[in-house]
Amino acid sequence: MESKEPRNTKRQDGFLAKLKNVKWDYWLIAILILAAFLYAWNIWEAGEANNFYTAAITSMTQNFKNFWYASFDPAGYITVDKPPVALWFMAISAKIFGVHGWSVVLPSILFGIGSVYLIYNLIHKRFGRVPARISALIMTLTPIVVADSRTNNMDATLVFFLLLSIWFVQKAALKNQQRYLWIGFALMGVSFNIKMLQAFMILPALYFYYWIATKISWKKKIGHLAIATIFLAIFTLIWPLSVDMTNSNNRPYEGGSEHNSALELAFGYNGTERLLGQTTGTGGAFPGMGNNKKGSSEGMPTPPGGSSKKGSTQGNPPGMPGSNSKKGSQGGPGGPGGNSKGNKQMAGGGGGAFNIGTAGPLRLFQQELGPQISWLLIVAILGFFSSFFYYRGSKMKHWWSLTPQRKELWLWAAWMVPVFGFFSVASFFHPYYTIMLAPAIATLGGVGLYTMIKQWMHKSGWSLMLPTAILGTSLLQAWYLYETYPVWTWILVGLGTLVSIILYAMPWISKKAAKAYTWPVIGSILIMIAPAWWSLTPTLAGSSDGIPSAGPSLLQSSGMGGGGGMGNSQTNSELLKYVEKHQGNAKYLFATDDSSTAAPYIIKTGKAVMAMGGFNGTDPAITLAQFKKLVKSGQLKYYYSGGKSGSGNSEIVSWIKKHAKKVTLKSTSSTTSTMGGATTSSSTKKPSAAPGGQPGGQGGPGGPGGQAPSGTKAPSGTKPGTKPSGTKAPSSSSSESSQGGMPDGGMGGSGQSGTLYDLTSIYK
């Protein structure tokens, strides 16, 4: 009698048989490998990445309460100013691998690669492999996608979950199964808890697409969407309601809100204020936001990590591949946010932390935002019209009738239009938020480029679309290149014009146009070169910035970070040594004004540092009476005044300065930065604490900007504003004390001068 084969063996054989029958798309595999290289290479140089979030991740790995609420500090005093879902993935990674720059960035890298695959999958179902490959490649080579995927900001995670939501809704429409619709809308709710109302910019696209894509009665459509909306509401509100319904004494203060409310944070600071302009959380609107004339950076605050004219050095932009420029060469004014040539915006990067150009329908094409996102925006816009008429049905009653492909095109158009509109008129956002446009540009651009080539080869009435798109895109890209690469600009203009003329003429003078792939392919490659180089710069620079951006100026700034984002912030070792020695049983190591001052100390020690006013130093998180109680009970012994000016806790600060005793540290203060496997240090002499509470050089070599304090001689052989020779700058940060560069507008930070106050002397 024959023995029966084990069931597990049969399953394994069945799986292997299916695996053998899979038709691998090797072009897709190559694109995913390219994405992995761009997003992950050099990420071990990430330092602390965005240390505002890295400090929170350090705290979240310590207990579940901190994990659930996304507490900024280990004591659970205040949260970050965003919901926690993206940080949950980062905290899990940090729990597995330890808190390192690369480990907190790893989820963003994986989600970035996942987004490329989802773009391919979504397009492949209706349009075929070739358009799907082109779309995936455009997504991969979008500069701001690369820059965002290399940080521990939330945007790469948000885009992945939005695409996953679209994927399930598409599946619901194709298979006519409601459960996929529910999952899709539930994932939209999860996306809300990644970055709040930013996710809902594409919510209308979900409703619109399901309505036009399903072949059921309108009554059933309303019923299906009503149930889906319930799932959306549940997964949207489950976290913010859990926060707001918890007694405020049993949870951290909700950072960024005025009244300790997660819902208020969602619809205020992270909602309407983004559209209308920042009015809370930062102490008022920033000058020039959304209104800067001629797109210049004049009137704007100096971006963190950027530089003013004073003390900045100028140099030549790095060459294109094959040039002799060296990585880290001097001359870049602190990244794309910096200024050169009389405060004129560089084309080599983004517009800085706040420089978002002039509001209007052409804002996304301007120098401030265009080099991050808009290289192929013309192709995407023209591509929609090309594709719409290419995929017309043979039995259409009207020219606007819907085919299966047209329904998909309307999905991506419904994604692009509201997002494009928001960025055209909004008063406050950072350039890296424009990653929200990347999926729509990639899909419409990929499908559109494919259909324009087909129309050109078939000599249809739309054959002029391809040369028009290549010519317009070449001229736009040349404008972006001009200030950085003037020679390459004219080469691009010349080649773009030549290829376009040939493409305009060939269908009408050659009978072989139907088989002439060469010139359309040359034109397509030509418009991919510049964005590909921009996308490569964050990878070469090893950047992982709080304000991420891409551009050649990253290679000039010696790792200071493209948009001025905090990388490796520095701690004052004498200050740290003193407070650790005298902490005793105190709950907090010390208190300070804001999160950017506290973050490096939390990361370095894993101990609680109270950021009294939250991220911007303006949150009313604690009253004077509550602060006095902490001091009197011995839970808080020290206050460090090294944070941002204009603190929201001015009453507390005034009380401290009136009653507390200043601490005079040793005459030599050293700053250290330890993250990403490297430890760097530098030292400089400084006077002891002077009246007014401004000892020179506290927190860094010579105070803000790395300049020697008044009356203090800089080390021999160095220039003002530079580090002492022989001190190696940590990767992704300047060797001088960092002044901020936190997301959403943070200035100040651990490198500012300050004074340590002993609070124990008050109640003795």
Q: pTM here?
A: 0.82
Mean pLDDT of 208-227: 95
If you average pLDDT over residues 410-415, what whole number do you get?
Answer: 97
Report in angstroms the alpha-carbon separations of 298 from 284, 358, 556: 19, 12, 22
Q: What is the pLDDT of residues 299-342, one digit of tens each?
A: 333 333 333 333 333 333 444 433 333 333 333 333 333 333 33
Which helix (H) or strand (E) covers residue 663, if one does?
strand 661-663
Average pLDDT of span 145-165: 97
Instruction: Compute the distance between CA of residue 697 and CA of residue 737 in angstroms, rounded to an integer.
Output: 9
Average pLDDT of 390-414? 85
Give per-residue pLDDT as tens, 651-678: 999 999 999 999 988 754 445 554 544 4
Q: Provide the pLDDT confidence category of residue 13 given band limits of 50, 70 and 90.
A: low
Angle at 78 between CA 354 and CA 159, to 5 degrees: 50
- Return the minimum-mean-pLDDT range out of 281-295, 377-391, 429-443, 606-620: 281-295
176 vs 695: CA distance, rounded Å: 69
Give CA separation, 542 vs 40, 434, 445, in Å: 9, 21, 29
Name the band, by pLDDT with cuts 50, 70 and 90, for residue 242.
very high
- For the chain, state the CA radius of gyration: 27
The DSSP line for 404-418 is HHHHHHHHHHHHHHH
For 88-93, what is the mean pLDDT? Answer: 97
pLDDT of residue 556: 82
Pairing outcome for strands 638-640 and 756-758: antiparallel
Instruction: Kindly compute the dihedral angle of the four CA atoms of residues 146, 148, 152, 157, in this order, to the nearest 10 degrees.
Output: -100
